[in-house]
Amino acid sequence: MAGEGDESESHAYRWALSATGIVLAVIAVVSVAVAASVRGTDGVWSALAGVAVAAVSGMVTQAAMIAGHRRDPMVFASIVAGAWLAKMFVIVMGLLLLGRIEGIDRGTFGTVTLVGVGATLAIDMFAVRRARISYTGSSPGGDRS
């Protein structure tokens, strides 16, 4: 049975996922417009690749948190760790492939990626603090251990 703390936690994770999607869409629009005017077509593709990396970086973990937060702590940790490993593999493989593409503007890609990942981290931190999600094993709705 879901307690009040569990619903707060679920709401925080869902809010973080939707807020991340909205913020990354705004970053995509702004970065593509700026990159198109400054770097041309290469800049546009680089900006889009940067937003994609930021989306994978942030949203995979948020989705894993939604999928696992109501489960046993070991299952929850396994889901989050597995998602983290999978996204790191995808990101590293993607970066290796992007490194071979001649038209990628590394400055644009790096800047957009850092801004996007920073935004996803800020959203995560805000969501967890606002929901007062405990990381010590107990929550306002009951004991999670």
Angle of helix 73-99 relative to helix 4-68, nearest 10 degrees? 40
Q: What confidence score (pLDDT) does residue 101 get?
A: 87
Q: What confidence score (pLDDT) does residue 2 get?
A: 47
CB-CB contact of 53 with 116 (8 Å): yes
What length does the chain have? Answer: 145
Judging by beta carbons within 10 Å of its beta carbon (0-12, 13-18, 19+), is residue 127 exposed, middle or buried? buried
pLDDT in tens, the chain (145 residues): 445 556 777 888 899 999 999 999 999 999 999 999 999 999 999 999 999 999 999 999 889 988 988 889 899 899 999 999 999 998 899 889 888 888 899 999 999 999 999 999 999 888 878 877 666 655 555 444 4
Rg of the Cα atoms in the chain:
18
CB-CB contact of 140 with 132 (8 Å): yes
Q: What confidence score (pLDDT) does residue 1 get?
A: 42
Residue at 16: amino acid letter? A
Q: What confidence score (pLDDT) does residue 47 get?
A: 96
